Amino acid sequence: MNTSIFDLIKEQTVLLDGGMGTELINHGFPQGVCPESWNVEKPDIVKKIHKSYFDAGSDVVLTNSFGGSKIKLSSHGLEKRCYELNLAAATIANEIKPEGKLVAGSMGPTGKFLQPQGEFTEEEFEEAYAEQAKGLTDGKVDFLLIETQYDLKEALCALRGSRKSTDLPIFVTMTFNHHPRGFFTLMGNSAAQCVQELEREGVPAIGVNCTLNSAEMVDLIKIMREKTALPLIAQANAGKPSLSVEGEVSYSQELEDYVRYIPHMIENGANLIGGCCGTNPSYIKKMAELIKNFKPEKKV
């Protein structure tokens, strides 16, 4: 019998993977190319990255399909290959998936805005996400993760569109900036509003990824846990990115500083933990050790 993500969540703190883009660059990915194109052009490299995360201790890896909606793919002239590239992303990850491990279909934002701020209608967003969800579902992912959403309205479009194409569980993570008055998305949605609306829509697990470092995410998870009993997902960045003179990207939070906040995330209510931009298999390996040895502090 196949393991389900809900079984895993009940049994343990679930460890997701780290950055895909970071690892693609480490394997020679050139600037300006579409990451999803490597699912058909260089599948062995994508497969190698997935394997490195499973070997490091990930319970779940995310497919190389973050920018796989046809709206996002259109910037590379690949919108007509949306289904093909997402199907390939899911197939590659499943080919390397060990027994008892899982694959999540990654669905990132379109990179565009809804009317009136942008040119797109909600129906166009829904259609784009529906096609992506179909490719990932046909490729046999175990669940979908709509991630890095900076607009609650787009997240809800993604959810509605995906539900037209799949019966799989669909999780949603938003991305927040830290302001003096709290945590808000780029479009001004508060953490409380996102939790409330996603829970009302029947999303079975919600959370946060990207933008924030691991210390900031500890505080945000605490706020979200006070608003919901749903499983919470936390995938922090390794701090802020910076560009060297040579054009290389580095991140401000070193491994040891990053991982020391992982136990606090669990204490504050995170059920699924992984890394985002700037993290790699060495981060995940250390997180796996911390999760395995984690013992909550006893309240006096």
The answer to the question of residue 147 being in a domain is yes
| CB within 8 Å of 155: residues ≥ 6 apart | 146, 149, 172, 174, 194, 198
Q: Tokens 């390996």 belong to which residue?
A: 285
pLDDT digits (tens, 9 = 90+) for 233-252: 999 999 787 777 676 777 88
> Mean pLDDT over residues 202-214, rounded?
96
The answer to the question of residue 300 being in a domain is no
Instruction: Specify the pLDDT at position 300.
Output: 41
Cis amide bond preceding 204, omega within 30: no
The range of the structural domain enclosing residue 113 comes to: 5-293
> Mean pLDDT over residues 254-272, rounded?
96
Structure tokens at 249: 């990207």
Q: How far apart are CA 113 and CA 116, in angstroms?
A: 8
pLDDT digits (tens, 9 = 90+) for 141-190: 999 999 999 999 999 999 999 999 999 999 999 999 999 999 999 999 99
The answer to the question of residue 273 being in a domain is yes
* CATH number where 200 lies: 3.20.20.330
Of 243, 287, 230, 280, residue with least CA distance to 262: 287
pLDDT digits (tens, 9 = 90+) for 49-79: 999 999 999 999 999 999 999 999 999 999 9
> Are 268 and 218 a contacting pair, CB within 8 Å?
yes
Instruction: Specify the pLDDT at position 245.
Output: 67
Instruction: Specify the pLDDT at position 196.
Output: 98
The answer to the question of residue 298 being in a domain is no
Please, what is the Cα angle at 19 between 18 and 25, to 5 degrees?
140
The answer to the question of residue 231 being in a domain is yes
Indicate the pTM of the whole model.
Answer: 0.94
The answer to the question of residue 299 being in a domain is no
pLDDT digits (tens, 9 = 90+) for 96-150: 999 999 999 999 999 999 999 989 999 999 999 999 999 999 999 999 999 999 9
| CB within 8 Å of 33: residues ≥ 6 apart | 76
Count of the separate structural domains present in the chain: 1
The answer to the question of residue 138 being in a domain is yes
